[in-house]
Amino acid sequence: MKNQEPVLFADKPDIVTLKEMQEMLGIGKRLAYKLLHSGKTKGVKVGHVYRIPNH
């Protein structure tokens, strides 16, 4: 049997906005942008809005 890691945010959509990420992690806007810009969190900017995969 293969061990599977628990999914922390299984009730959230597969792609979330910056605001949703902030609420999920309990962080502010400044730290959310810092995580995206540093590459520690992956996201794609679509127009003026970031889309972050929830996995």
Break the chain into its structural domains and give their ranges: 15-53
Please state, in angstroms and as integers, the Cα–Cα distance from residue 45 to each residue in 1, 17, 20, 42, 54, following that order: 39, 10, 15, 10, 15
Digit-coded pLDDT (tens) for 33-49: 999 999 999 999 999 99
What does the mean pLDDT of the chain come to?
85
Residue 28 reports pLDDT greater than 90: yes
- What percentage of the chain exceeds 90 in pLDDT? 69
Single pTM value for the model? 0.72
